[in-house]
Amino acid sequence: MAGYRAAMQDGHDILVKIDGDGQMPPELLPYFVEPILTGRADYTKGNRFYDLNNIGQMPRVRLIGNALLSFLNKFSSGYWNIFDPTNGYTAIQARVASHLPFDKISARYFFESDMLFRLNTLQCRVIDIPMDAQYGDEKSSLKIRAILAEFLWKHTRNFSKRIFYNYFLRDMSLASIELVFGAALLIFGLVFGGYHWLEAAERSLPNTPGTVMLSAITILMGMQLLLSFIGYDIQSVPKDAIYGTLKARRPIA
């Protein structure tokens, strides 16, 4: 983020970040910059999962971890069309970067994931750039157990914020209603059914058909509404670059 500020202060148009671990070939840089230059994207990032033949180079722990983190990131960021969210090879249009709250973006390992969440709040278009996974004999300082709780908490926080911002604060749609009623029906069905199941188990008596049907119907209706909401959310991935409509802001020194 210090590099972003310095680059914007110097008047550069596109800011590229390449991690210094030797796993990111600098010769790929034109592929990251081209979609931004042509107005097809506001932000580009690497994706090491395109070529299945090269995925085998990735350590198994990282492979599984990246897959799980990608799934969580789809929910929290709203970018259902991208993968490999922790990839550190990125490029961003400076005008877009000037609208990001640098003082709020997470540092360290969650930086790239949090960037995607912040970009979604601006409705920026993000594109994946295929790249090979390159690993040598180096040992990563990333400890899965140490960051697992942190990542789960931050993804949950970002998901809650994104849903509130996009579906209740800045706009309301049929999807907003589906989310509210779907969650309410599902919770009611689970609580109602669980309570009567425990009560029947204590008395060693079966529940009435009406009790079972009420619980089952509300659970199914709730799940159907929530699935419909997720479908709407997937279709709402930003499809157009926005930097042309933004005014450049003076970067925070």
Model pLDDT for residues 23-49, shown as the tens digit of each residue: 788 899 999 999 999 999 999 999 988
In a domain, 134, yes or no: yes
Residue 205 lies in a domain: yes
Question: What band does 251 get if pLDDT is binned at 50, 70 and 90?
Answer: low
Q: Judge whether 253 lies within some domain.
A: no
Q: Are 8 and 251 in contact (CB under 8 A)?
A: yes
- 184 and 87 housed in the same domain: no
Do 19 and 89 contact (CB within 8 A), yes or no? yes
Q: Is 194 within a domain?
A: yes
Each residue of 135-177: pLDDT tens digit? 666 565 556 666 778 889 999 999 999 999 999 998 899 999 9
Report the pLDDT averaged over residues 88-95. Answer: 94
pLDDT at 55 over 70: no
Per-residue model confidence as pLDDT tens digits over 188-198: 999 999 999 99
User: In the chain, how many domains are there?
Assistant: 2
Q: Quote the domain boundaries for residue 226.
A: 174-235
Q: In what order do the strands lie in the sheet with 14-17?
A: 14-17, 90-93, 43-47, 126-130
Average pLDDT, the chain: 88
Tell me whether residue 169 is in a domain.
no
Query: How many of the other CB atoms lie within 10 Å of CB of 96?
Result: 23
Question: What predicted TM-score, i.e. pTM, was given to this entire model?
Answer: 0.86
pLDDT at 141: 57
Does 223 lie in the same domain as 131?
no
Taking residues 3-13, report their average pLDDT. 92
Query: In this structure, are 50 and 131 located in the same domain?
Result: yes
**pLDDT of res. 48:** 85
